[in-house]
Amino acid sequence: MATNTYATGSDIRMTSMVSAEINLLLRDTANLRNTGLIQYIGSINGLGTDSIKVRKIGLMGRDSFASRTEVQATADTSITDAAVTVTPSRFSLRYDISDLLNLTSTNARFEPDPFALAASMAGSYDKLFAELTGAAAAAATNVTVTSGTTMSVSTFFEGIYALERADSELGAPGPFYSVMHPKSLTELQASLRAEQNNIISQMVASEEMIAAKGLGYIGKLFNVDVYRSSHIDSDGTDYDNFMADAGALGYADGVPQILGAAETMEMDKISVELDRQGSTAITSVIGHCYLAVSILDQNRIVGLLAVD
């Protein structure tokens, strides 16, 4: 007597069924753009140039008075000045989607239809900002410890000391913040556990603090706000973690004004266009942006090297 089983009914059963929802893979879009810690220099839109020069001047207490005798002439004091030029670069991201992939999509969230892909590019812009921040900070000329050293409480303190004694003991004004690679952060946490001093403690970030300070915020250590970022640069030997104050880094941007595209959308600082290749039944979703992050003052930032 024959028995009807799952195997014998293979023509009326599917090998598998997709889930009703689409789960996102891990990503790291945490960045400092909206924290107030990185200075917004401006947009190059309508400037008549592709670069912005950030001017710096030594006034409001940079110079002091000199003692003179009763009739001694006063010598002229040269005003200290400097400038940093920031030039946003072009970045783009493109997804191609076929008609068949689009027409077979379900109602699940995160289906890769053209408009969902365009919206996704806002998150990709956040990732780019974090990557450029890490690359800019890696150019810090002041660094702590030597290459190949594990991150520790001592290294963290050295960063604080360097900022407090910056620019020939004038000191960066603070408050300070630090951005660390996850590996370096875990090494610092292990070092904290090994400390015997009860004064040393870490204030762990609460849900309210993360909401106020943004994704990636870990907490406060020695009155320094600590952020986590997987986009910290590495030279293959060390991660270029860093500590700085709010005047150290700045960014400039530009939003493309696209001409001639069949359809365009603006997603925050990104311009997205849809490009149709009818002969191959493919729609291209292309995002464009201009962005640059740069160190504005080397005296306000210090690299915290830690082994890769």
Sheet holding 202-204, edge to edge: 143-144, 301-307, 238-245, 176-180, 224-228, 217-221, 202-204
User: Torsion over CA of 166, 170, 171 and 173, rounded to 10 degrees?
Assistant: -140
Q: Distance (Å, rounded) from C-alpha 73 to C-alpha 81?
A: 25
pLDDT tier, 84 (very low <50, low <70, confident <90, very high otherwise): very high
> For residues 139 and 233, is the Cβ–Cβ distance under 8 A?
no
Q: Distance (Å, rounded) from C-alpha 4 to C-alpha 200?
A: 69
The per-residue pLDDT for 247 is 87
Amino acid residing at 97: I
Q: pLDDT over 90 for what percent of the chain?
A: 63
Whether 8 shows a pLDDT value over 90: the answer reads no
pLDDT tier, 202 (very low <50, low <70, confident <90, very high otherwise): low
> For residues 180 and 228, is the Cβ–Cβ distance under 8 A?
yes
State the sign of the Cα–Cα–Cα–Cα dihedral 295, 301, 302, 304.
negative
The per-residue pLDDT for 178 is 96
User: What single-letter DSSP state applies at residue 230?
Assistant: T
Q: What is the chain's mean pLDDT, rounded?
A: 89
What pTM value is reported for the model? 0.88
Whether 135 shows a pLDDT value over 90: the answer reads yes
User: Which residues, at least 6 apart from 279, have a Cβ–Cβ distance to it below 8 Å?
Assistant: none
Whether 299 shows a pLDDT value over 70: the answer reads yes
Burial-class residue 141 by CB neighbours within 10 Å (0-12, 13-18, 19+).
exposed
Indicate the pairing of strand 176-180 with strand 238-245.
antiparallel
Whether 38 shows a pLDDT value over 70: the answer reads yes
